[in-house]
Amino acid sequence: MTTITPIQPLLRIEGVSKVYPKPESGGSFTVLDDINLTVNPGEIVALLGRSGSGKSTLLRSIAGLSKPSKGVVYSNGIPVLGPNPDIAMVFQSFALLPWLTVIENVEIGLESKHLPQKEVKTRSVEALRLVGLEGFEKAYPRELSGGMQQRVGFARAFVVQPRVLMLDEPFSALDVLTAENLRGEIADLWEEGNFPAKSVVLVTHNIEEAIMLADRVVIMSSNPGRIRGEIRVNLNRPRERNSSAFRAMADHIYTIMTKPDTKITPVVQESTSLMDTTPLPHARPGAISGLLELVEEYGGPEDVAVISDRLRIEADDLLPILDAAVLLGFANVREGDVTLTEIGRTFADAEVDDARDIFRDQALKFAPMVRTMHEVLRASRGRPVHEDFFLDILDEHYSDEEARNQFETALNWGRYAGLFDYDSDEKTLQIPEE
Amino acid sequence: MIKRAFPSKYALPRSPIGPADTAILLAMFLLFYIVARVGAGFFVAFKPPVLQPKVSLDPANLPYYAIRSTLRMFIALIGSVAFTLVYGYIAAKSRRAESIMIPLLDILQSVPVLGFLSVTVTGFIALFPGSLLGLEMASLFAIFTGQVWNMTFSFYHSLITLPKELDEAATVFQFSKWRKFVSVEVPAAMIGLVWNGMMSFGGGWFFVAVTEAISVNNTSYTLPGIGSYVAKAIAEKNLKALGLAILTMIILIIAIDQLFWRPIVAWAEKFRMDKSTAATHATSWVLDLLRSSKLPRILGLWWRDIRRKLPTIDVRFPKKPNLRFGWKKKKSRINEDLIFGILIGTIVVGAITAGVHIVTSEVPAKEVGSAFGLGILTFLRVVGLLIFASAVWTPIGVAIGFNPRLSRIAQPIVLILASFPANFLFPAATIVFIKLNVGLNFGSMILMILGAQWYVLFNTIAGAMAVPNDLREMAANMQLRGWPLWRKLILPAIFPAWVTGAITASGGAWNASIVSEVVAWGDKNLTADGLGAYIAKATTAGDAPRIVLGVSFMCVFVVLTNRLFWRKLYALAETRYRLG
């Protein structure tokens, strides 16, 4: 008989409280009150709270640097009783030893592992390479800028290849631009998929930082420190802090944090629900119409290769046009042969005005992006909407370039169908005046 | 309706005197009385060797002796503060003065004070013939020279490292020099001054004990005080009197710590400029008492009224109109410097030639060589002392310093131990040496350890306390334990503090060698081979050439180890092992 073991969480925090005695009055002071939290493999969890929320104390309890007054922290299923070997920490103050060189500081991480000197060296050099500090091995920390010092801090944690990487406000001692830069690089490393840790716990008071990096944002209240709730961050990576969904989430969390009594609800992602971003094949309406006319002319099913030859265009360029025709319900493709549908044939034969009406009906029915854009413009009651509004939404799902292309395609279709007007000077869209 | 028969307590004019004020007033009157009463003893007739003050071992006299010694300490402290302010200020403000005053200070603090006793004692006695004041002055001078250099260095250092913003603010607001001195420079130097003053004062007890009963030029001199009480107890082999003196000394040190230094240290906290190190917040019940009392405020108001009525005395330094930028002209400097340098050089060369002449006229060349050998023996004792103190006290100091609760308790205790004059314990150790048949060649090192080890411990505790918590957490997170933890984190982190402690300890040990290489219990004398013993014997015999030779060699040893060893370690501590 086999038993199915559920996935072991990397960290399980059960009912952890921390109480300090007050030396003056003889009373006591609760820093953490009944904290319950799990951290699973493959996720970044942000502990977000103001000062006094005990988030650093919680981090230290998890790392085994401070003993909880009540409750237990399990790391990989084992109760944490001393410094937790599964964890490597990155400190706000960098915590570098000024008398050791950069590489010696990184090697500290492997000191207790008793590895052969050669392996220590290669792993440390590799960790430094990961944080972009090749060539600085022999420098002393005080010769480096703050940002570079913190890179050493990261390398020292990376070299351990810990189960959990603990980040204790790692960017808050850096100036804004340096912090942004380093944060971006850490996010990139995570997204590339060969991050030297399974999970990350990030302590921060910076809302944007939490949204930027985390899969879950755990919001803590102050005095005593309690977990108020958590918010999932479902935004695609890499995250754009200027996107409307990012902004909406930041506003939402900001509201929660400034109002200690509100219940935590998932963010209402109004902006993303505004627009369906299912991709469109990149084809101009004129090309679609041309293709359909050609196929109609020959009467029967036509081979894709033959059409490509006739039209003297590459198959690669033909395929999006074909896809568009199929999406809009004008054609079917079966085993390389293209046949027109009823509506496709009508469209191919129609006069210009009729063709536009047919295309509009089909686009509204089958091209969700065009439909939702039209709805947005209708909802704005004739006021022009800047193209960036749509591009921002698309940016969350596509690369910059592809977002632009998707927008262009939807714009072409919508303009052809008479659904939008576009002002190329102002770069605004609006409903055509009747 | 009932009419109030008695005025409410608010209607009565409020008495300006509360219980705290009563206590303070009483304490002040008592203090004045004691100072007047004991101070009179300074001026009694004195015609050595016939007419000398007698010291009695009657325990009833102990408080009087203790107070008399204490009075000496405070007079020397006042002198030290005054000297510090003047010397430090001039050295910091004049480039030329600095070029001679600071090296001079460096040499002076390396010189073993006790080596010059024969010169100072005879000199001061000649200055005040027929009065005990001469001998008192000699004792005061020894205490003064024992404590002043540290304080002067600290003040000078604070002046030249005055935060730039403060300096600029004083300029922007057109402070006169006096105003800047009083409101900017002294406050900025206050914490260093207070701490150095406290440490030096603690070291001063040692000199009190030595100078109150000395033999110079074949004559024994006695000043009534706790030091001469101990000396008499030793001569008469009176263990009970010795024990009482030690007990009195402990009480005295604790009382002065509680009533004088604690309040000042706690008060000086307000001059702290960096917020970070304020973790060890000093508190003092005496200061709390003073602060809760209305008396200081009332006195302050009186003083303000008096000052208003007095014609204003302008104590400001003359202020030059300073409308242009303060760049000084540089043109004739080189020539003046050259002349100045030649002048100083001539004096130094002259002094050396004179010294060499005095020595070589009487001391055979062979003895010069053997005196140098004795210097090496004493040097080895100092090294042994440092190794012992470091090996024993570093782990303990780190354990204490890493535990905040323990260090809060331990630090003041160690400070008191460091203040305790180790030469009070010498007789007890001597008895043990005689009993166990330990030669003083080894025993004198133990005697030196008795006094000097506390500086290592005290500084190690301070160093361990100053290790940032983040670094300790990092080490724990990286699973550093045992030797790797010591090698990577603890030893480098406490290194600067250890260097400071070791420098102080070795300086103290060189001085202590003069009294610890020759000890006595009753009529039994123990002597070690060493430069300290050489100087001590020459002093007793009034042998000027040998005093000059011994003291010069000791200066050379101290200055050379400072230059070749400590200075380098210090530079390393300042650059590589500096935290933050």
pLDDT number for residue B580: 60
Task: Sort out which chain A residues have CB atoms less than 8 A from B494's CB and list them.
Answer: none
Gap between the Cα atoms of A120 and A160, Å rounded: 10
The pLDDT of residue B186 is above 70: yes
Chain B CB contacts of A64 under 8 Å are 476
B380 pLDDT tier (thresholds 50, 70, 90):
very high
Q: Kindly tell me if the per-residue pLDDT of B8 is higher than 50.
A: no
> Quick check: B576 and A89 CB within 8 A?
no
CB-based contact A98 B579, cutoff 8 Å: yes
Which candidate in A87, A97, A156, A158 is best for mutational testing of the B interface (most B CBs within 10 A)? Answer: A97
CA atoms within 13 A on the CB side of A157: 32
Pairing of strands A87-90, A164-168: parallel
Residue in A with minimal Cα distance to B473: A65
Report H helices in A168-303. 176-192, 207-213, 244-258, 270-273, 285-298
Is A88's CB within 8 Å of B471's CB? no
Q: What is the model's pTM?
A: 0.71
Does the pLDDT of residue B334 top 70, yes or no?
no
Q: Between chain A and chain B, how many beta carbons pairs sit less than 8 Å apart?
A: 60
Lowest-confidence segment of A285-289, A380-384, B172-176, B565-569 by average pLDDT: A380-384
Q: Report DSSP state, residue B562.
A: I
Q: Which residue has the higher pLDDT, B188 or B21?
A: B188
Q: Residue B3 has what pLDDT?
A: 43
Q: Distance between CA A77 and CA A85 in Å, rounded?
A: 13
Q: Residue A95: which of B470, B480, B492 has the nearest Cβ? A: B470
Q: How far apart are CA B553 and CA A64, in angstroms?
A: 57
Q: B578 and A98: CB-CB below 8 Å?
A: yes
Check pLDDT > 60 for residue B326: no
Give dist(CA A381, CA B131) in Å, integer.
110
CA distances B92 to B87, B112, B144, B147, Å, are: 8, 25, 21, 20
What kind and span of H or E run contains A229?
Answer: strand A226-232
pLDDT in tens, chain A (434 residues): 444 455 678 999 999 999 888 766 667 888 898 999 999 999 999 999 887 788 888 999 999 998 999 999 999 889 999 899 999 999 999 999 999 999 999 999 898 888 899 999 999 999 999 999 988 999 999 899 999 999 999 999 999 999 999 999 999 999 888 999 999 999 999 988 889 999 999 999 999 999 999 999 999 988 788 898 888 888 888 888 888 888 888 888 888 888 777 777 766 544 445 677 778 888 888 888 888 888 888 776 778 777 877 777 777 788 888 889 988 989 888 877 888 888 888 888 888 888 888 998 889 888 888 888 888 888 777 788 888 888 888 877 778 888 888 899 999 999 888 888 888 888 888 888 76
- Please tell me the predicted confidence (pLDDT) of residue B9: 47
Residue in A92, A99, A160 closest to B576 by CB? A99
The pLDDT, as a whole number, for residue A389 is 84
- Class of residue B457 by CB neighbours under 10 A (exposed 0-12, middle 13-18, buried 19+): buried
Residues of B in contact with A89 (CB under 8 A): 473-474, 477
Query: What pLDDT does A238 receive?
Result: 83
Q: Which of B470, B475, B578 sits opposite A93 (nearest CB)?
A: B470
Contacts A85 to B, Cβ<8 Å: 479
So what's the pLDDT on residue B12? 44
| B473:A95 CB<8 A | yes
Q: What is the rounded average pLDDT for all residues in chain B?
A: 83
The mean pLDDT value for B122-134 works out to: 83
| 3-state SS record for B519-553 | EEECCEEEECCCHHHHHHHHHHHCCHHHHHHHHHH
Nearest CA in chain A to B573: A99
Give mean pLDDT, residues B87-95. Answer: 90
Query: Mind listing the pLDDT tens digit for each residue in B22-59?
Result: 777 777 777 777 777 777 777 666 666 666 777 788 88
What gap in Å lies between CA B503 and CA A168, rounded to an integer?
Answer: 39
Residue-wise pLDDT for B508-549, tens only, equals 888 889 889 988 888 888 899 999 999 988 888 888 888 888
Residue A214: what pLDDT? 94
Contacts of B475 in chain A (CB under 8 A): 108
Nearest CA in chain B to A107: B478
8 Å CB contact of B470 and A88: no
pLDDT at B6: 47
- CA dist B367 and B342 (Å) reads 34
Q: Which residues of B touch A109 (CB under 8 A)?
A: 478
Lowest-pLDDT range, A140-154, B106-120, B369-383, B465-479?
B106-120
> Inter-chain contact B576–A98, Cβ cutoff 8 Å?
yes
Are A99 and B577 in contact (CB < 8 Å)?
yes
* Whether pLDDT at B1 is above 60: no
pLDDT at site B244: 93
So what's the pLDDT on residue B21?
A: 72
Taking the CA of residue B258 and the nearest CA in chain A, the distance in Å comes to 21
The answer to whether residue B449 scores a pLDDT higher than 70 is: yes
Contact between B477 and A88 using a beta-carbon 8 Å cutoff: yes
DSSP, residue by residue, B130-171? TBTHHHHHHHHHHHHHHHHHHHHHHHHHHHHT--HHHHHHHH
A197–chain B Cβ distance below 8 A for any pair = no
Which residues of B fall within a CB distance of 8 Å from A172? Answer: none
The confidence score (pLDDT) of residue B51 equals 64
Residues in B 456-515 with any Cβ partner in A closer than 8 A: 468, 470-471, 473-481, 484, 488-489, 492
Summarize the confidence of residues B49-76 as an average pLDDT.
Answer: 84
| From A83, A93, A97, residue closest to B476, measured CB to CB | A83
Alpha-carbon span A376 to A430, nearest angstrom: 9
Least CB–CB distance from A89: residue in B477, B576, B577: B477
What value of ipTM does the predicted structure carry? 0.72
Interface test with B, best of A57, A112, A156, A165 (most B CBs within 10 A): A112
Cβ of A65 within 8 Å of Cβ of B478? The answer is no
Task: Please report, for residues A289, A410, A411, B228, B399, the alpha-carbon distance to residue A284 in angstroms, rounded to integers and kept in the order given.
Answer: 9, 9, 10, 112, 78
Best mutation target, B402, B473, B478, to test chain A (most A CBs within 10 A): B478
